[in-house]
């Protein structure tokens, strides 16, 4: 999206997260309903802490969720399996929607959720540009926390803070949303249950294609200006009762080989913490493009 050292992973050297929340990410992910609809409730209770007690800003991207790839980017021989996976993903989304209606009991408001999600995305980009333009290094992180506290997750704010530090001190960054292409689409709707298996939070992926313009100004002169089409798979965490909705990260289209089941070992604490931080960086490039 930005040519601001995209290879730098947006991870601060020292996390401000309480250790109890960091160490609980494994048990939180094991409670996610993205694996199979019929998880055993007893196993959930034994898995770890009750996620309903975790503040929403600390709930980052919970797994390497399956994002259906475009058929045109995959071998024709893989199309039958890819179509089958899309049908299975539709069934999983339908199951989670039914569970949402039955256990949470509030109306589904996809249009309102998408509007709020886009609003948070735009705000994140604009505030990030402001932070990059801030001359004082110490003020960058403070500005991001203050202005994104109710729009983005804690891990994402930390990633933006780390990236803003790499921006040249004598330059300013401007970001502008020119247009939204196509209708934003929720490609995955995942229920997050509490220790009793009852739905309490939601995490969903929004496919958003936009036309954006960025410009870099130095000595009151525009040294670089670029307008481009950007397609993002943005991940949001939501409390449907309080209607709190936060942008927490970004994923990419899955390859044509993997299935719906997450490939990562959710019980590998170091791996999951690394994934949590990496996925919160919304300006990173698709790792498949760097191979």
Tell whether the torsion through CA atoms of 225, 227, 228 and 234 is positive or negative: positive
Give the pLDDT score at 8: 28
Q: How far apart are CA 57 and CA 78, in angstroms?
A: 38
Pairing of strands 199-218, 171-193: antiparallel
Tell me the two tokens of residue 113.
């959720």
Sheet holding 199-218, edge to edge: 171-193, 199-218, 221-239, 244-251
Nearest to 155, CA basis, from 6, 36, 1, 9: 9
State the chain's mean pLDDT as an integer: 86
pTM, two decimals, is 0.84
- Percentage of the chain with pLDDT > 70? 82
> 208 vs 124, 189, 231, 284, CA distance in Å?
14, 15, 6, 16
Which structural domain, as residue segments, surrounds residue 270?
Answer: 19-290
pLDDT at position 49 is 65
Q: What pLDDT does residue 269 have?
A: 85
Residue 256: pLDDT over 80: yes
With H, G, I as helix, E, B as strand and everything else as coil, classify residue 215. Answer: strand
Query: Given a cut of 90, is residue 233 above it in pLDDT?
Result: yes
Q: Over 90: is that where the pLDDT of 263 sits?
A: no
Encode pLDDT of 239-252 as tens digits. 999 999 999 999 99
CA distance linking residue 141 with residue 161, whole number of Å: 5
pLDDT value at position 3? 38
Task: Tell me the per-residue pLDDT of 95-134, one tens digit each, with 9 for 90 and over.
Answer: 999 999 999 989 999 999 999 999 999 999 999 999 999 9
d(CA 288, CA 38): 33
In a domain, 223, yes or no: yes
CB atoms closer than 10 angstroms to residue 259:
12
Two tokens at 47?
Answer: 């898995």
CA nearest 236: which of 248, 226, 251, 227?
A: 248
pLDDT tens-digit series, residues 11-39: 333 344 444 343 334 334 444 555 444 44
The whole-angstrom separation of Cα 232 and Cα 207 is: 6
User: DSSP secondary structure string, 36-65?
Assistant: -TT--HHHHHHHSS-GGGS-GGG----S--
Task: Give the pLDDT of residue 55.
Answer: 95
pLDDT tens column, 184-195: 999 999 999 999
| The pLDDT value given to residue 175 | 98
Q: Within a domain: residue 152?
A: yes
The whole-number average pLDDT for the span 253-261 is 95
Flag whether 85 is in a domain. yes
The answer to whether residue 13 is domain-embedded is no
Provide the CATH number for the domain around residue 273.
Answer: 3.10.450.240
What's the rounded Cα separation, in Å, for the pair 20 and 14?
15
Is residue 24 a part of any domain in this protein? Answer: yes
Is 214 a member of any domain? yes
Which pLDDT value is given to residue 291? 60
pLDDT digits (tens, 9 = 90+) for 213-232: 999 999 989 999 999 999 99
How many whole angstroms separate alpha carbon 246 and alpha carbon 241?
A: 14
The answer to the question of residue 8 being in a domain is no
Beta strands in the chain (DSSP E): 171-193, 199-218, 221-239, 244-251
Give how far Cα 125 sits from Cα of 71, 161, 216, 247, Å: 30, 12, 14, 11
Q: What is the pLDDT of residue 33?
A: 56
Mean per-residue pLDDT, 145-152: 97
Look at the chain and report how many structural domains it folds into. Answer: 1
């Amino acid at each position: 999206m930005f040519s601001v050292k995209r290879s730098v992973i947006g991870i601060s050297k020292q996390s401000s997260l309480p250790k109890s929340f960091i160490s609980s990410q494994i048990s939180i992910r094991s409670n996610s309903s993205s694996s199979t609809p019929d998880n055993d409730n007893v196993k959930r209770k034994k898995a770890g802490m009750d996620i309903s007690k975790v503040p929403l800003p600390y709930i980052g991207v919970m797994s390497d969720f399956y994002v259906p790839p475009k058929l045109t980017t995959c071998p024709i021989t893989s199309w039958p399996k890819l179509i089958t996976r899309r049908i299975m993903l539709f069934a999983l989304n339908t199951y989670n929607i039914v569970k949402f209606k039955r256990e949470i009991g509030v109306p589904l408001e996809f249009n309102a959720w998408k509007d709020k999600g886009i609003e948070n995305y735009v705000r994140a980009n604009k505030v990030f540009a402001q932070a990059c333009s801030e001359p004082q290094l110490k003020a960058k992180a403070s500005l991001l926390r203050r202005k994104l506290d109710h729009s983005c997750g804690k891990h994402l704010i930390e990633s933006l803070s780390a990236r803003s530090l790499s921006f040249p001190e004598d330059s300013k960054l401007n970001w502008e949303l020119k247009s939204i292409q196509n209708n934003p689409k929720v490609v995955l709707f995942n229920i997050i249950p509490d220790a009793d298996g009852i739905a309490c939070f939601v995490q969903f992926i929004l496919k958003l294609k936009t036309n954006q313009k960025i410009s870099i100004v130095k000595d009151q002169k525009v040294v670089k200006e670029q307008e481009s089409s950007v397609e993002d798979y943005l991940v949001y965490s939501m409390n449907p009762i309080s209607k709190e909705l936060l942008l927490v990260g970004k994923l990419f289209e899955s390859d044509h080989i993997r299935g719906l089941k997450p490939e990562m070992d959710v019980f590998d604490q170091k791996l999951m913490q690394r994934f949590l931080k990496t996925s919160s960086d919304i300006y990173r490039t698709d790792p498949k493009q760097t191979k």
